[in-house]
Amino acid sequence: MLHTIAQPDTVDVVAVLREHGLKVTAPRRAVIAALAAKPHAAVDEVFELVRQTQPTTSLQAMYSILGAYVVAGIVQRLEPAGSPARYELRTNDNHHHAVCEKCERIFDIDCAVGAAPCLIPENAGDFQITRAEVIYWGLCAACEATSRQATEASQAFSASEHKLLS
Closest approach of Cβ 108 to Zn ion, in Å?
4
Closest to 19 (Cα-Cα) out of 80, 72, 90: 72
Interface pick for Zn ion out of 100, 117, 135, 146 (rule CB under 5 A): 100
Cβ closer to Zn ion: 75 or 140?
140
Interface pick for Zn ion out of 70, 118, 135, 146 (rule CB under 5 A): 118
Closest to 102 (Cα-Cα) out of 141, 143, 56, 61: 143
SS3 assignment, position 117: coil
SS3 assignment, position 114: coil
Cβ closer to Zn ion: 50 or 140?
140
Q: Specify which residues 97 forms β-bridges with.
A: 108, 135
What is the footprint of Zn ion within residues 142-161 (CB under 5 A)? Answer: 143
Cβ closer to Zn ion: 74 or 140?
140
Closest approach of Cβ 30 to Zn ion, in Å?
20
User: Where in 19-161 does DSSP place strands (E)?
Assistant: 41-42, 76-78, 86-88, 96-100, 106-109, 135-138
Q: Which residues are annotated as a binding site for Zn(2+)?
A: 100, 103, 140, 143
DSSP state of 73: T
Asked if 102 is part of the footprint of Zn ion (rule: CB under 5 A), the reply reads: yes
Region binding Zn ion by CB under 5 A among candidate stretches 7-15, 20-28, 87-95, 123-131: 87-95
Tell me the C-alpha distance between 23 and 40, whole Å.
24
Q: Which helix (H) or strand (E) holds 37?
A: helix 26-37
Region binding Zn ion by CB under 5 A among candidate stretches 4-12, 41-49, 102-110, 149-157: 102-110
Interacting residues with Zn ion (CB under 5 A): 88, 100, 102-103, 108, 111, 113, 118, 140, 143
